[in-house]
Structure 1
Amino acid sequence: MFDLGLTELLVIGVVALIVVGPKDLPMMFRNVGRFVGKAKGMAREFSSAMNDAAEESGMRDVAKGLKAATNPVGTAMDGVKEAAQEMAKSIDPTSYKPDSETAKLAAKLAAERAHDAKKIQAATARAAAERKAREASEALAHAEAAEAAVEQAPEQPSSADPAVAPSEGSEAKT
């Protein structure tokens, strides 16, 4: 209501002290407090009377209508929420029993899924076996090629072997 800071209140207090005097100042503050209290009470009473009058005249319904007009999506969602709550109250999930046609269809779908799962597992196992066989044949081919390479390579003496004497051209001259 009033926007008074600390400095403004201090100025008002100093002026009141000078004008009224230190002797009558407490009585004046008491009277001002009573006046402010009465004013707040009257404002509260007026506000509650206006709210009561608005409720009696149907202004709240008009306000809801205006809110619905300005926010139709929110209002529609409120209606959907209310309908869902009513449906949840009327539906008892424990009383649901599928009819025989639904049960047969569910059993048929479950059997088809199990059959498809077995097919997938068999295809995966077959592919894994083929891959392992291919890797084994490749490993065998590599091993045979390595053996053939070892057999074809001429045998060379090792330079670290002490029994082998160095050749004439490799001797160092002193």
Structure 2
Amino acid sequence: MFDVSFSELMLIGVIALIVIGPERLPKVARTVGHLLGRAQRYVNEVKSDIQKEMDLKEIGDIKHQMEDAARSVQSSMTSSVEDLKAAVTQPSQAIQDTLNQARQALDPLPSAQGDAAASGSAADASPTAPAPAAERPAEPASEPAPASRPATTDTSH
């Protein structure tokens, strides 16, 4: 701060000795030392407070940057998820529509079933349409053979 050399300090000491006197010089030197120490501590505290404020401001700026980055990542993830849902839903919906159309084409019309049942003849029903569930023969309940072993028939009785 101040560029004071040793020779200048000696000159100030000699002048202080002459002006103050040898009896009061040690007491004045101690008082000046205490005052300079307090001044240095005060300056250091101010410096540290300023540094803390600057650090807090930098941390706040970094916090805002991180929040902005998090919001941008969240919005991009949300849009990606929505795009993925749309990409999965459209083919799924198309397949579902195709299956519904196929079911409608395979199932006889309800009014045609009612007419066929009322007349009592199965010949009136469409030849390509499967028989309704009530007219189908009952299938015996049998358990399928496990896939790991071939099915065997027991011919010895």
TM-score category of the 2 structures, normalised to the smaller one? 0.3 to 0.5
* Length-normalised TM-score, structure 2: 0.38
* Length-normalised TM-score, structure 1: 0.35
- Kindly indicate which of the two structures has a greater share of residues assigned to helix: 1
